[in-house]
Amino acid sequence: MDQASGLRNLIHKYSQDIWELRNSDRARSNDSGPKVISVTSGKGGVGKTNVVGNLAIAFSQLNKKVMIFDGDLGLANIDVLLGIRSKSHIQHVISGKKALKDIIETGPENVKIIPGGSGLQKLSNLTEGERLLLLNEFDGLDQDIDIFLMTQAQELVPI
């Protein structure tokens, strides 16, 4: 077993979801959607959240419509970093208590934020149904977004 075997297993496990997304009606349309930038690292505490927060504000100052998803689900804190007190987070969406559009917060420079919720380890092990629910919730958000930024946990967490 080599160092990359875990990554290959994850890619194989979720390749069907990726294929379905790429072949969806929206993917075949001429609308390219927002640019997506994911910031990740093999180690925690290296500043992923700070990089995403600063990029979001910089893009917004360039008149881009920016949305952040705080996908570092164990330590999600982009809302705190940007001075927001979120009442809801992504677990509320997965549990069916809220729609994704209802948890989006507005931060500095009109940056839209999807709070991840700190300490939510369950989110790193979503069932297929939960993953599809989350993908469906994200579908359609791109209409008013130029740039979609996300932080990702140190372990690879497929969304």
C-alpha to C-alpha distances, 56 to 22, 59, 75, nearest whole angstrom: 26, 5, 19
Q: For residue range 107-139, what is the model confidence (pLDDT) as tens digits?
A: 999 999 988 876 665 666 778 888 888 888 888
Residue 16 resides in a domain? no
Q: Higher-confidence residue: 140 or 70?
A: 70
Residue 66 resides in a domain? yes
Between CA 49 and CA 45 the distance in angstroms is: 9
List the CATH number of the domain containing 95: 3.40.50.300
Residue 114 resides in a domain? yes
Give the CA dihedral 138, 144, 145, 150, nearest 10 degrees.
-30
Residue 6 resides in a domain? no
How does DSSP classify residue 142? G
Residue 22 resides in a domain? no
Residue 91 resides in a domain? yes
- Write out the two tokens for 153: 């946990």
Q: Find the domain containing 125 and state its range.
A: 33-152
In this prediction the pTM is: 0.71
Name the maximum alpha-carbon separation found in the chain: 48
Residue 132 resides in a domain? yes
Between CA 93 and CA 20 the distance in angstroms is: 22
Residue 159 resides in a domain? no
Between CA 8 and CA 62 the distance in angstroms is: 38
Per the structure, how many domains does the chain have?
A: 1
Give the CA dihedral 23, 29, 33, 35, nearest 10 degrees.
60
What proportion of the chain, given as a percentage, has pLDDT over 70?
A: 68
